[in-house]
Amino acid sequence: MNMFSLTNKTAIVTGATGGLGAAIARALAEAGAHVALAYIGTPPTEDLVKAVTTPHGIMPLILEADVSSEADCNTLVGDVEAATGKVDVLVNNAGVLHQAPLAEATLAMWERVLKVNLTGTFLMSKSVAPGMQTRAGGAIVNVASQLAFKGAIETSAYSASKGGVVALTRALARELGPTIRVNAIAPGPIHTPLNDPYADDEWIEQRTAGLVMRRLARPEEVAPGVVFLASEAAALMHGQTLHLNGGGVMA
């Protein structure tokens, strides 16, 4: 028996068109899952859709949703359940980053980051939980960050939002377990479109100085950790945060 297999599982990935989200969607599909690509703004590329199509020719569901909207979250989950009958795996990957010194950070910036990164994780988890409980099984994987544990200059809102994701992960694991497993990953700096606006030489040097591997990660190096947490191989993982950050945080 392949404990890492997600065959016959349905998975939702939010923020699925970003660098990490796309890599996660591909990895879940390679493990056998039928993937729903949730996005906002630019739709998935043809290459991504092709990569996430199952070997049996089942194409991914493609659904636009703003995870900071409760109505959008409920519609997204309802549409996936209507199309497939269930949601077995939720990956809360959607996120935004605004980097600015505290003196220049605005309330609107703070509220937007927390609304997407933290409130969006809460709303999507709340939406999928009833169905998972009815079917007596499911896995939620939240994407946090090493900055939840160590912080970084000019990232007050982002660091706070990801710290909240870690705490929410623990709370939901206690409340929803043992039926639903809730865990998180905490990546370090990754080559993704989210980071690209800030990733000049100075930024990269600052972010990699504390990493054992001394380089930015690639999205495809992070995605297998999500597959692990979504699979039966992680049956004993509840409320845990998997540190996929090249040694930036050791816990």
Per-residue pLDDT reduced to its tens digit, 28-76 = 999 999 999 999 999 999 999 999 997 778 899 999 999 999 999 999 9
CB 186 within 8 Å of CB 249: yes
Residues 189-212 pLDDT 10s: 887 766 667 667 776 777 777 788
Start-to-end CA span in the chain (Å):
31
Measured CA to CA, the distance from residue 48 to residue 25 in angstroms comes to 9
Half-sphere exposure of 4 (CA within 13 A, CB side): 10
Do residues 238 and 182 lie in contact, with contact meaning Cβ atoms separated by under 8 Å? yes
pLDDT reading at 9 higher than 90: yes
The helix or strand, by DSSP H or E, that contains position 206, with its residue range, turns out to be helix 201-208
What angle, rounded to 10 degrees, do the helices at 120-134 and 156-176 form?
20
The predicted model gives 199-226 an average pLDDT of 82
- Sheet arrangement for strand 10-13: 61-64, 34-39, 10-13, 89-92, 138-143, 180-185, 241-242
Annotated catalytic residue 158 = yes
Domains within the chain, CATH numbers bracketed: 10-242 (3.40.50.720)
| Poorest-pLDDT segment among 71-80, 120-129, 173-182, 184-193 | 184-193
Categorize the per-residue pLDDT at 250 as very low, low, confident or very high, splitting at 50, 70 and 90.
confident
The answer to whether 76 and 62 are in contact (CB under 8 A) is: no
Annotated catalytic residue within 158, 227, 234, 245: 158
Q: Is the pTM of this model over 0.75?
A: yes
Average pLDDT over residues 95-112: 96
User: Does residue 133 surpass a pLDDT of 80?
Assistant: yes
**Integer CA distances (angstroms), 166 to 65, 154, 185, 227, in order:** 23, 20, 9, 18
User: What size, in residues, is the chain?
Assistant: 251
Per the listing, tokens 């349905």 go with: 10
State how far the Cα of 209 lies from the Cα of 201, in Å rounded to an integer: 12
- CA–CA separation, 11 and 132 (whole Å): 12
pLDDT > 70: percent of the chain: 97
